[in-house]
Amino acid sequence: MIGEEQRQRFQRDGFVVLERVMSVQDLALVRDQCQRFIDQKDREMDAAGVDVLGLDQRGKRYFVNDCSTVSAALRGFVLGDLMASICRAFLGDQVYLFNDQYVVKGAEGGTHFGWHQDSGYVGYPHPPYLTCWCALDDMSEANGTVYLLPYDRAGTRDVVPHVRDAGNNDLVGYTGPDPGVAVEVPAGSIACFSSTVFHRSGSNTMPMLRRAYIVQYSSEPILTSDRSSLRHQAVPFAVASRE
């Protein structure tokens, strides 16, 4: 599935987009689990008598981290053969599951996110990691897809200081004029990019949810800044045995 040309492109640009690589079964499974977590968040808001709980806003946006720690179905996907082949191509044989997260933008107004590097949110030195952005819906500029900025257009491969946007609380690390490369792909596609790649996403102007499942992997465990504990997860992923 992933050849030498794609590996070289990943090294050159910092990202590769793999179209329609999720099976019909996997896509249905990950979508089903997404609805499970949306419903759970809505029940938590019902119990609290609110429509906003943390970063979640009923019907508008949802962020759910570490879903595979409570879903055996998702754990099977994130440690399955498809993700093993992707990790082996871009990280090598030693891989750890670092984090997984649903990001859902509500219909007709889901929020946008400013230019940032995932590593910019970590905030201290750490090994770069791999982000696999799984499209659960057909993605377009109209429904708020992700935009990626190749290394040569960003002018750096390094993690740069980020500044918090007072308006929406985003961390922003790039303010240049480049619009980036829009990832307009069918559902079941995966954008694979380094945590040092700048990316952003637009607002969802369409009348349905825009759902993405983000899975991140590292070549070694990522610790907290004082190195006393894990940042998220560090699940060993035996990718070499999948060859």
Among 66, 78, 77, 80, CA closest to 37: 66
Please report the pLDDT score of residue 242 as a whole number.
57
DSSP helix/strand/coil, 28: helix
Among 179, 33, 15, CA closest to 104: 33
Q: Is the dihedral of CA 220, 20, 134, 82 positive or negative?
A: negative
DSSP helix/strand/coil, 140: coil
Please report the pLDDT score of residue 153 as a whole number.
97
Q: Is 238 a residue whose pLDDT tops 90?
A: no
> How many angstroms separate the CA atoms of 95 and 93, rounded?
6
Higher pLDDT, 133 or 59: 133
Q: Is 241 a residue whose pLDDT tops 80?
A: no
Q: Note the pLDDT tens digit of each residue in 165-182.
A: 877 678 899 999 999 999
Q: Note the pLDDT tens digit of each residue in 9-30.
A: 999 999 999 999 999 999 999 9
Contact between 134 and 215 under an 8 Å Cβ cutoff? The reply is yes
Dihedral pair phi/psi, residue 48, rounded to 5°: -90, -10
> How many angstroms separate the CA atoms of 86 and 17, rounded?
11
To the nearest whole percent, how much of the chain has pLDDT over 90?
A: 74
Q: Which amino acid is at 184?
A: E
Q: 224: which DSSP letter?
A: P
Please report the pLDDT score of residue 57 as a whole number.
82
Q: Note the pLDDT tens digit of each residue in 84-107.
A: 999 999 999 999 999 999 999 988
Q: Note the pLDDT tens digit of each residue in 107-165.
A: 866 578 889 999 998 989 999 999 999 999 999 999 999 999 999 999 999 999 999 88
Domain residue extents for the chain: 4-242
Element (H, E) at 128: none
Q: Is 69 a residue whose pLDDT tops 80?
A: yes
The DSSP result for 59-75, as a single string, is: TTEEEEE-GGGT-HHHH
Contact between 186 and 145 under an 8 Å Cβ cutoff? The reply is no
Q: Which of 53-57, 177-181, 221-225 has the lowest mean pLDDT?
A: 53-57
CATH architecture of 4-242: Sandwich (2.60)
